[in-house]
Amino acid sequence: MANAHAQFEPDEQKAILAQAAAGEKPLCPRDGTPMTRRSIGGGSFGLGYARRREWLICPECRRSLIFDLRRGTRN
């Protein structure tokens, strides 16, 4: 396992995003490790962003993906 920036497969990404969108803590589909969430571009208030992004990282296998957290359908 020497890949420094491995990516999730599309199906794996879907599973992770579904969990995150449901408000659950996403688990890495590869090893079942709870993934770390990091906000991207946080601290920029007043810019009118309708969504915010989070970076989901598996601390075990180091795979990661960007999660667009859209707002509007739920509060």
CB of 6 to Zn ion, least distance (A): 9
Residue 36, number of CB atoms within 10 A of its CB: 14
Stretch 12-51 residues interacting with Zn ion (CB under 5 A): 28, 30-31
- Spatial neighbors of 12 by CB under 8 A, at least 6 apart, are 29, 30
Choose between 9 and 31: whose C-beta lies nearer to Zn ion.
31
Choose between 15 and 61: whose C-beta lies nearer to Zn ion.
61
Strands 64-70 vs 51-57: parallel, antiparallel or unpaired = antiparallel
- Residues making contact with Zn ion (CB under 5 A): 28, 30-31, 58, 60-61
